[in-house]
């Protein structure tokens, strides 16, 4: 139990520290703010409740709107305050759904809470994504990230982690798509090519999974 608690704390604090260092001014951004919202909702609801999580996101944004939110979430929260159900807001703002990585950036608490049930991790990650990001690339990104977190929690208890390709085959197929115009991996965040040579996604995920929390 002590080791598990340490891993949970390490994951969440690591998220905040990395975010703060990347932000450059020593304070965390919407990445951490929404991660906190996910954790708060999971705890208060004793599990995943989409309505509660959506309200938590909107409430936290209203308290600290200066955390560096992108264009999308504040507009979704505004639509919610005006009476639009969250189930409709994201689709109205982004017909077909957002390609963004916003739901992946905040999903670590899902991987932590359901770490012993990887199918549940992927399911809840996708459901939590749909509050703001409904495109398959957005929901798959959240599922992959949450599964990586869950596997990292399990890494000390098993010698060979379950490959993400087994847990999220459709997501991995999309992630391995290579553009015909050159050796570039398809970017999960916006459907654009990366501006650096292709690097094996499997290698990068393996490093993340096996890295102690």
Residue with the bigger pLDDT between 121 and 162: it is 121
Share of the chain above pLDDT 90, in %: 61
Higher pLDDT, 213 or 62: 62
Take residue 99 and report the two structure tokens written for it.
């390609």
Q: What would the mean pLDDT of 151-169 be, rounded to a whole number?
A: 63
Interval 101-142: pLDDT, tens = 899 999 999 999 999 999 999 999 999 999 999 999 999 999
Domain boundaries, the chain: 2-210
Residue 107 burial (CB count, 10 A): 28
Tell whether the model's pLDDT for residue 5 goes beyond 90.
no
| Better-predicted residue by pLDDT, 157 or 33 | 33
Averaged pLDDT, 15-19: 93
Q: Give me the residues paired with residue 141 across strands.
A: none
Whole-number pLDDT of residue 162: 53
CATH topology for the 2-210 domain:
ADP-ribosylglycohydrolase fold (1.10.4080)
Q: How far apart are the first and last CA of the chain?
A: 15
- In angstroms, the CA 60 to CA 105 distance is 16
- The rounded mean pLDDT for the chain is 79
pLDDT greater than 70 at residue 53: yes
Has residue 164 got a pLDDT over 70?
no
111 vs 197, higher pLDDT:
111
pLDDT for the residue 191: 32
Report the C-alpha gap between 61 and 64 in whole angstroms. Answer: 5
pLDDT in tens, 65-104: 999 999 999 999 999 999 999 999 999 998 888 888 899 9
pTM, 2 dp: 0.75
Predicted pLDDT of residue 95: 86
**Cα distances (angstroms) measured from residue 111 to each of 18, 106, 123:** 18, 10, 11
Tens digit of pLDDT for each residue in 172-184? 555 444 333 333 2
What does the pLDDT read at residue 37?
A: 96
Model pLDDT, residue 6: 87
Integer Cα distance of 9 and 152 in angstroms = 13
For residue 186, give the 3-state DSSP assignment: strand
């Amino acid at each position: 139990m002590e080791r598990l608690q340490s891993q949970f704390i390490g994951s969440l604090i690591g998220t905040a520290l990395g975010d703060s260092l990347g932000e450059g001014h020593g304070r965390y951004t919407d990445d951490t703010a929404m991660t906190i919202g996910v954790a708060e909702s999971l705890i208060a609801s004793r599990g995943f409740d989409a309505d509660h999580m959506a309200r938590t996101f909107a409430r936290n944004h209203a308290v600290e709107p200066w955390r560096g939110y992108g264009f999308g979430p504040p507009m979704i929260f505004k639509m919610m305050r005006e009476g639009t159900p969250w189930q409709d807001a994201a689709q109205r703002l982004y017909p077909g759904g957002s390609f963004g990585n916003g739901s992946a950036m905040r999903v670590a608490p899902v991987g932590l809470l359901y770490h012993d049930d990887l199918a549940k991790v992927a399911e809840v990650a996708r459901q939590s994504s749909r509050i703001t990001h409904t495109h398959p690339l957005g929901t798959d990104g959240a599922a992959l990230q949450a599964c990586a977190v869950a596997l990292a929690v399990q890494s000390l208890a098993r010698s060979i982690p379950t490959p993400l390709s087994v847990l999220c085959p459709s997501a991995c197929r999309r992630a391995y798509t290579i553009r015909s115009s050159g050796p570039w991996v398809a970017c999960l965040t916006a459907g654009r090519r990366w501006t650096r040579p292709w690097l094996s996604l499997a290698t990068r995920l393996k490093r993340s999974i096996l890295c102690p929390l």
